[in-house]
Amino acid sequence: MFDVFIDQFWQLTFSGISLGFIYVLIALGYTMVYGVLRMINFANSEIFMWGTFGAIVASRDLFKYTQTSDPVTGPKLVLVLVVQLFAAMAFAGLVAVLVEFVAYRRLRARGTNRLATLISAIGMSIVLSEVMRLLTASRPVGSPRILEKIILTEIWGAQIRLDTLITILAAGAIFIILERFVKLSRMGKAIRAVSMNEDAAKLMGINLNRVITVTFLVGGLATGAAAFFYVTVYEYTKFNIGFTMGLAAFTAAVLGGIGNIRGAFFGGIALGLAEVYAASILGTQWKSVTIFIILVLVLLFKPSGLFGEAVTQTRA
């Protein structure tokens, strides 16, 4: 039962962390919006899915790479990857802002209850995934291989692969940038002010609509970055991938304490590791069962999530 776990421990750990970083960035999308609006943006999973298509549109339609073209090398590799990253972030950011504008703003202005916004969010998520389904005729879309997946070195039997290493480093960097933005910038302060007390923030002259738009944008950008890493590592997307990834990231956000940026970080990494460990010990069919048992246990003993305590200080 434990032979695979022991034999491949470091490999599993490395894979789990790299998967975890993708969850972290998507979880940011959930947690940012929740922090400000006290509302789960269920459309975030589809914002992620649209982001993956952004990355593929860049490599396939802009740079004209195909499924059979050779991986890119040299300075051009950096260019293509950066353009892909920006395309994914732009797609996701744009969709996120659009979602806010179409589905939430008017409801908020009319002062409807949270349930209406929640239904509206679910509606948006169905619209986004169905539109993509029609655009792609329900078919899975493969991404051209841009980055050669070189095995750089082996540490304790774990292959350190270029794409997963880049994911960990770059996703980590993006996380830190966003966290600093919320913590230190003027806009970040406004976001936190709205999160703490909407009415007081309004009285201080903070433009509420602008803050909310920026929150959605930042959440969308983080989710878009996750979409880029996802495409680079798994080279695949489909109109319905949002659901699984979104659910996992949402779980990560709740695990860490939703509304809390650092919570999203630790929740994401913990979830990535828990997934691969559970799958290797019990079999992949037990993966979801294990994760949700962990989630239920955490919430039973600490309803605000692992980092719930610190909410007032670091809340997004």
Partner 1 sequence: MNKKIKASAAIVAALALSLGAFAATSASAATKTYTLAYQGPLSGGEASTGTDEQNGVKYAIKVWEAANPGIKINLVSVDDEGDPAVASKVAPGVGANKKIIGLVGPAYSGATIASLPYYKAGNLTVISPSATRVSLTDPKSPTVKSDYGRPIFHRVVATDDKQGPALAKFATKGIASAKVFVFDDQSSYAVPLRGYVEAAIKKISTASLVGTGDSVINTTTDYSPTIAKIKTSGANVVIYTGYYSAAAIFIKQLRDSGSTAVFAGGDGVFNQEFAKLAGKSGEGALLTGVAGLADVDATIEADFKAKIGVSSGVYAVESIDAANIFLSGIKNGKTTRAAMNKWVKAYNFKGIAGATIKFNQHGDISEGGFAGFLVTGGKLVNKGPVA
Q: Which residues of 159-194 are buried (b: 16+ CB within 10 A; e: fewer)?
A: bbbebbebbbebbeebbeebbeebeeeebbebbbbb
The distance of closest approach from Cβ of residue 188 to partner 1 in the complex, given in angstroms and rounded to an integer, is 32
Nearer to partner 1, 188 or 268 (CB): 268
The distance of closest approach from Cβ of residue 296 to partner 1 in the complex, given in angstroms and rounded to an integer, is 20
3-state secondary structure of 156: coil
Nearer to partner 1, 4 or 206 (CB): 4
Nearer to partner 1, 213 or 288 (CB): 288
Stretch that binds partner 1, among 57-65, 173-181, 219-227, 278-286 (CB under 8 A): 278-286
By CB under 8 A, tell whether 244 contacts partner 1.
Answer: yes
CA–CA distance, 180 with 172 (Å, rounded to integer): 12
CA–CA distance, 43 with 30 (Å, rounded to integer): 9
Nearer to partner 1, 145 or 262 (CB): 145
Stretch that binds partner 1, among 13-21, 89-97, 115-123, 212-220 (CB under 8 A): 13-21
By CB under 8 A, tell whether 19 contacts partner 1.
Answer: yes
Q: Is 32 exposed, middle or buried (0-12, 13-18, 19+ CB in 10 A)?
A: buried
The distance of closest approach from Cβ of residue 193 to partner 1 in the complex, given in angstroms and rounded to an integer, is 38
Residues 109-168 touching partner 1, rule: CB under 8 A, are 133, 137-140, 142, 145, 149, 151, 159, 161
CA–CA distance, 274 with 291 (Å, rounded to integer): 7
By CB under 8 A, tell whether 15 contacts partner 1.
Answer: yes
The distance of closest approach from Cβ of residue 84 to partner 1 in the complex, given in angstroms and rounded to an integer, is 17
Phi, psi angles (nearest 5°) of residue 139: -85, 145
CB 145 within 8 A of CB 66: no
Residues 40-99 touching partner 1, rule: CB under 8 A, are 67-68
Strands 141-142 and 151-155: unpaired
Length of the chain: 316
Site pattern 221..240 for partner 1 (x: CB under 8 A): ---------x---xxx-x-x
CA–CA distance, 150 with 130 (Å, rounded to integer): 36
Residue 74 carries which DSSP code?
Answer: H
Q: Which residues of 239-256 are buried (b: 16+ CB within 10 A; e: fewer)?
A: bebbeebbebbbbbbbbb
By CB under 8 A, tell whether 199 contacts partner 1.
Answer: no
The distance of closest approach from Cβ of residue 225 to partner 1 in the complex, given in angstroms and rounded to an integer, is 17
Residues binding partner 1 (CB under 8 A): 3-4, 7-8, 11-12, 15-16, 19, 67-68, 133, 137-140, 142, 145, 149, 151, 159, 161, 230, 234-236, 238, 240-241, 243-245, 275-276, 279-280, 283-285, 287-288
